Amino acid sequence: MPLTTASEVADFFLNFAHEHGDLVTNLKLQKLVYYAQAWHLALHGTPLFGDRIQGWVHGPVVSSLYGKFKKHRWDAIPGNQARPTLSQAVQRHLTDVYTVFNPYTAYQLECMTHQETPWQNSRIGLAPDENGDREISHADMKAFYGKLARSK
């Protein structure tokens, strides 16, 4: 059973970024949320949240989050969301993900996901600029990032 929602994960990241003086765009937020899910699957074997992640042209996207924040376009999203109530374990996980991936730009994170099997598998048969809504599978994320975790 999922521990939280993609929206709560996003709100956590936006609050955390705001508290630390960082700026997060919708593109970057999508990648942070994706990596939170992927690494939770790899390290704990279970999904962090139940929302679907799709393989879009610019990388992994939770479509409901995209819709929620699309009005900001390429600008930073304000950190004025309500702070979600999350377990200490989930907060630790999200803080770890943020610490690892926040130093990268949104574009660098997009490029990273494009080099990784889970996103690539969701795009099979699509042209590079073709819209797609195929789900990035939990099995692909768990296998790919689990292998990375075991190699460290």
pLDDT at 55: 97
Region 105-118: mean pLDDT is: 97
Kindly report the average pLDDT of the chain as a whole number: 94
Residue written as token pair 């692909």: 140
Instruction: Identify which of 127, 136, 132 has the alpha carbon closest to the alpha carbon of residue 53.
Output: 136
Q: What is the pTM of this model?
A: 0.96
User: Per the domain annotation, does 81 fall within a domain?
Assistant: yes
Q: How many domains does the chain have?
A: 1
pLDDT at 130 over 80: yes
User: Per the domain annotation, does 85 fall within a domain?
Assistant: yes
Q: Hey, what are 112's tokens?
A: 């990273």
Residues of the domain holding 75: 6-150
**Sign of the CA dihedral with 127 first, then 113, 60, and 76 last:** negative
**Could you tell me what percent of the chain has a pLDDT over 90?**
87
| Cα-Cα end-to-end distance for the chain | 28
pLDDT at 82: 81
pLDDT tens digits, 70-99: 998 888 998 777 889 999 999 999 999 999
pLDDT tens digits, 11-54: 999 999 999 999 999 999 999 999 999 999 999 999 999 999 99
User: Per the domain annotation, does 1 fall within a domain?
Assistant: no
**Contact yes or no for 101/32 (Cβ under 8 A):** yes
Q: Hey, what are 13's tokens?
A: 């990241």
pLDDT at 78: 84
Widest pairwise Cα distance in the chain: 42
Return the higher-pLDDT residue of 34 and 150. 34
